[in-house]
Structure 1
Amino acid sequence: MTKDVLHYDTVGSFLRPEKLKQARQDFLENKISREKLKFVEDEAIVDLVEKEKQLGLKVVTDGEFRRSYWHLDTFWGFGGIEHTIPEHGYFFHGEETRADSATVSGKIHYVENHPDVQAFSYLKELIKDDDDVTARQSIPAPAQLYVELFRDERNKKITNEFYPDHQELVADISKAYRELILDLYNHGCRDIKLDDCTWGVIVDDDFWNVFSEDGKYTRDGLQDLYLELNNGALVDLPEDLRITTHICRGNYHSTWASKGGYEPVAAHVFAKENVDAFYLEFDDERSGGFEPLRFVPKGKEVVLGIITSKKPELEDKEELKQRIKEATKYVDLENLALSTQCGFASTEEGNKLTEEDQEAKIKLVIETAKEVWS
């Protein structure tokens, strides 16, 4: 893949232009039609892809401009899932998000023409004449859907009513996801990234037990479950399909949800998840050191997210080079790459940066990578 040669990348989401934000608000208030909203989305995506190519990115995305959230919009596209409004949003460090959720309404199954497939098809068409550019589709990991279905007492109750057999729930989630992945592949997608906050929660000593389902799971038990969900969707896939994962500790309006290094989960996710590469947050002390990377199998890639997408201040290039050198104690330089630590807008609110700041961060990623891997 082109990224393996270039050793630079982004996580995928970009700040929404104000015109797009206004159009989405107008649509929610019934001031414009869905067709008009799509027209504005289309125009914004065309502009973004052109900008990505001008910056020198060889793996491009649609910025997740058709989504409100990095994860919920995908869930809402499955059969047996409905959009609900809980009493509270997610609680981040110092801020509560908008209140939206996904709740079981029947047996979970894949539905043809899923919104993510529609979104990718448009992106793919934009780069059909660019042989050196790859179109990527990011989707939330299967484990992330499972966690959402047990997010609060109401969701737990409803999920257990539809799925008294827990293994049936796990199997249905994995199956729906595998069918989404194969549908994306059939529409030309060769690069799919699974965004996953579940591991970023388990690493937090003060937070992981919130997801233990009232003591049903130990920390190791949760990891076994999440591996089963994710790997269950990644069986018998085409050999030319690149599957990667991004592990996040929360990214909303420049705030975060959890803390902790990767050591508690490394022997599970790094050693056993069936992906080709790991996109990992290492932008501040909350992420811990590089030592857990010793569990990454030889030959798998690690994309070091050591340039933050949460703040506009630019990192020192020499310090970035030194951190990359430190990581080579555990992963060969040829199997490392550089990116921002997360997307710039995991939700449509976006982080507290300007589009100029966003561009400067991407330029720093590319310039540093070209100097390190020259």
Structure 2
Amino acid sequence: MTVAYETGRRTETPFRFDNVGSFLRPDTLKDARKSFAAGTISRENLQSVEDEVIKDLISKQKEVGLKAITDGEFRRSWWHLDFMWGLQGVEKEDVDKGYQFKDEETRAETARLSGRISGENHPFIEHFKFVKQFEEEGVVARQTIPAPAQFLTELERPENKAATEAIYPDRNELLEDIAAAYQTFIRELYEAGCRNLQIDDCTWGLLVDENFWKSLSDNVSVEDLSRKHVDLNNKAIEGHPEDLTITTHVCRGNYHSTWASSGAYDKVAEVLFGEEDVKAYYLEFDTERAGGFESLAKVSDGKLVVLGLFSSKFPDLEDKEEIKGRIEQASKYIPKERLCISPQCGFASTEEGNILTEEEQWKKLALVREVAEEVWGK
């Protein structure tokens, strides 16, 4: 894979100053979603509110200097489940327990199979088209979706396993249909004008967490699961158009300013950084829970890394000189011209959002831009 880059600012995605995608939902949107759930406004009324707040959000993204714009995931409740619910053969289901984060449990919802999986006519295509109209010179519309491996992990949760195996007694057929559904979605997204797709993947954060392995049998290894995940992800994006930039974002959970897993990238670095067929990695590096930068030496030639050195979980602004020092540390393992910076994750992976204000959110992004310009130039 060859990648064009400048030693200074970048003119294509990922950009030196970048963002993972989601933003805090404004109160007007939260109120509209509650009214829709209560049946007091129509789907059309809700969409009208969504359209207006997304327009405002895009204006603010441009004002702060972002060159890759998103809808902030404002039409979603979850960063991942809404996409899964939009696939054919998948239904929204309530479950007994939500995902367990540090000292907090999420809402208890999941995606469960009701039939064979396919990817045509996904609602996210229209969502992307709305953002696409606000592109301009030097500004590209980005679409974010959960990774195929993330979808597989959801379908194999204990509460979903029976439904999955009833429809797919042959696991290889399940993997083939997941990959095919993603290929269909990516093709339709490309036809809608998308040239920047970000695949969000928390499965790698699980694979490096020691607590995750306590629930698994002894005959499963991190190498085995790493191989299965990267093979599925690669199969799903296989054959995509050359001018479609596909990147991936890896983190350890982001819900209401809490986290779900811990562990350095070292155990998965050789497979993830060496073999996943993406152009760049957006990586969590805002706390010691992500380990050091040594694993970046495993990133294969030509790929870029967006260092998530800033926390989207808290309003406190990072020290600029400390951040610059960490960029220098990372550059010992991967050249600085292949590095960019961003928050470690979005500001609202779910509609609850992290514990900071919208004003604090924009101040955080302004700081990221300031550091990027001081390190790589305007």
Q: Is the 8 A contact 1:20 1:40 kept in 2?
A: yes
Deviations 1:177-235 (A, max 9, x none): 1111111111000000000000010011121454x4x5563221111111121001111
5 Å matches for 1:48-127?
48-112=57-121, 114-127=122-135
CA, structure 1 residues 187+5, in 2 after alignment: closer, same or farther (shift >3 Å)?
closer
Runs of at least 5 residues in structure 1 that lack an aligned partner in the other structure? none
What percent of counterpart residues are identical? 54
* In 1: Cα distance, 2:141 partner to 2:353 partner: 22
* In 2: Cα distance, 1:51 partner to 1:296 partner: 33
Return the letter of the residue paired with 1:98.
R
Deviations 1:23-82 (A, max 9, x none): 111111111111000000000000000011111111111100000000000000111111
5 Å matches for 1:1-374?
2-3=11-12, 6-112=15-121, 114-127=122-135, 130-152=136-158, 154-210=159-215, 212=216, 214=217, 217-374=220-377
Deviations 1:101-158 (A, max 9, x none): 000111111122x12111100000122xx12110000000000000001112x31111
- State which drifts further: 2-11 or 162-171: 2-11
Q: Is the 8 A contact 1:302 1:336 kept in 2?
A: yes
CA, structure 1 residues 199+102, in 2 after alignment: closer, same or farther (shift >3 Å)?
same
Give 1:299 shift. Answer: 1.6
- State which drifts further: 221-230 or 299-308: 221-230
* In 2: Cα distance, 1:217 partner to 1:28 partner: 42
- Secondary structure of the 1:238 match is coil
Q: Is the 8 A contact 1:77 1:111 kept in 2?
A: no
Q: Is the 8 A contact 2:13 2:196 kept in 1?
A: no
Deviations 1:304-329 (A, max 9, x none): 00000001000000000000000001
Runs of at least 5 residues in structure 2 that lack an aligned partner in the other structure? 1-9
- Secondary structure of the 2:23 match is coil
Q: Is the 8 A contact 2:183 2:236 kept in 1?
A: yes
* In 1: Cα distance, 2:228 partner to 2:34 partner: 38
* In 2: Cα distance, 1:28 partner to 1:229 partner: 35
TM-score by length of 1: 0.96
Return the letter of the residue paired with 1:190.
R
- Secondary structure of the 2:160 match is helix
* In 1: Cα distance, 2:11 partner to 2:255 partner: 30
Q: CA RMSD in A?
A: 1.2
